[in-house]
Amino acid sequence: MNEPPAISVRDLTRYYGSKPAVEGLNLDVPRGSVFAFLGRNGSGKTTTIRMLLGLVQPTRGRGSILGHDIRNLPTEARARIGYLTEEHQLYGWMNVRECGEFQSRFYPRWNEKIFRSVAGHFNLQMTTRVKHLSRGERAGLCLGLTLAPEPELLIMDDPTLGLDPVASRALIESMIFLTRRSGRTIFFSSHQLADVERVADKIAILDRSVLRVCCPLETFRQSVQRVRLRFSGTPPPPVPAIPGLLQAVRTEGELRLTCVNYGAAAEKALRALAPAELERVPLSLEDAFISYLGDRGEKSFILAETESETEAQP
């Protein structure tokens, strides 16, 4: 029998004024998965996470987290959910030890070993006040406070935001440490695609408040493809309307197209342009992601434009 998902939302919608921040979101996060929630700034990731935790009321729709209604999350459910906020805000007047002691009193399953281990990983002095910690150290402290209660579900909102590469790596390593333990679910948003690539099983992408992607990471990488068409002269305008076209960049004698679900129909339409050469170019997750969330439609590469202008001058 299938386990119910750790997170499940249907038609989840939130408006701020007349602008939708999240629109008609349908999502299932399987238990035990590492789920990356991606999107550009302002796409609705944080709002979704805050709705999941009952910090913001949805305008419409419903959802459950660990089997509990998100509009009425009971205290025992909160004890099983760890939440790491994006700016790692804590009480500046507390020191590291006090933060741990403060948090430990609310969680019966508090694991002091984990807290001290994470704190040690980030070289945190127990007597240092939070306001004197660097951003990376504060992130580490927040992570320790989030992991020590041994949550079943860990929700992290862009945990590496603003961290230097070393701190970011340390944080991800700590997260991997947790994922080794069975049955834990991690749901996190991030802009660090290299980190996502390292740890995520599945991804979801929000584009301007609407969910466009929800699949395993590999499926996404395979679905977004770049095709390079070489022409002996100038590529013929206009680019044909092929299904799933994300971007078309025109340079001297070349047309680069990025498509979703590139298939036989699309290839046929492109071959009709009679290119001298047509080749598929592999994409990294970052390239695929950027292409997916970049501006849609045809545009000239900015350098190519500059180059062509330079060439046109006598």
Minimum CB–partner distance for residue 102 and another protein (Å): 6
Minimum CB–partner distance for residue 147 and another protein (Å): 14
Helix H or strand E segment including 16 = strand 7-16
* CA gap 70, 217 in Å, rounded: 27
Q: Is 23 in the site for another protein (CB under 8 A)?
A: yes
Q: Is 179 in the site for another protein (CB under 8 A)?
A: no
> b vs e for 83-117, b when ≥16 Cβ sit within 10 Å of the residue's Cβ?
bbbbebebeeebbbbebbeebbeebeebeeebbbe
Contact 77, 32 (CB under 8 A): no
Closest CA to 94 of 156, 31, 44, 138: 138
Q: Is 36 in the site for another protein (CB under 8 A)?
A: no
Minimum CB–partner distance for residue 280 and another protein (Å): 17
Q: Is 158 left (phi over 0), alpha (psi -120 to 50) or beta?
A: left
- Candidate segments 11-19, 179-187, 192-200, 225-233, binder of another protein by CB under 8 A: 11-19
Among 176, 194, 210, 278, binds another protein (CB under 8 A): 210
Closest to another protein by CB, 106 vs 272, is: 106
224-253 residues in contact with another protein (CB under 8 A) are 224, 243-244, 246
Among 32, 40, 53, 117, binds another protein (CB under 8 A): 53
Q: Is 59 in the site for another protein (CB under 8 A)?
A: yes
Contact 288, 224 (CB under 8 A): yes
Structure tokens at 186: 């991690």
Cα torsion through 108, 79, 97, 192, rounded to 10: 140
Among 55, 176, 199, 290, binds another protein (CB under 8 A): 55
Q: Is 86 in the site for another protein (CB under 8 A)?
A: yes
- Candidate segments 75-83, 267-275, 279-287, 306-314, binder of another protein by CB under 8 A: 75-83
Contact 36, 203 (CB under 8 A): yes
Among 24, 236, 240, 294, binds another protein (CB under 8 A): 24
Query: β-strand 81-84 against 7-16: which pairing, if any?
Result: unpaired
Minimum CB–partner distance for residue 312 and another protein (Å): 34
Closest to another protein by CB, 45 vs 202, is: 202
Q: Is 45 in the site for another protein (CB under 8 A)?
A: no
Q: Distance of CA 55 to CAs 59, 70, 72, 210, 245, Å?
A: 13, 9, 10, 20, 37
Q: Is 256 in the site for another protein (CB under 8 A)?
A: no
Among 68, 97, 107, 169, binds another protein (CB under 8 A): 107
* CA gap 25, 59 in Å, rounded: 12
Minimum CB–partner distance for residue 223 and another protein (Å): 5
| R_g of the chain computed on alpha carbons | 23
Helix 96-104 / helix 135-147 crossing angle, nearest 10 deg: 20
Binding site for another protein (CB under 8 A): 11, 13, 15, 17-20, 23-24, 26, 50, 53, 55-57, 59-60, 75-76, 78-79, 81, 83, 85-91, 93, 102-103, 105-107, 202, 210-216, 219-220, 223-224, 243-244, 246, 260-261, 292, 296
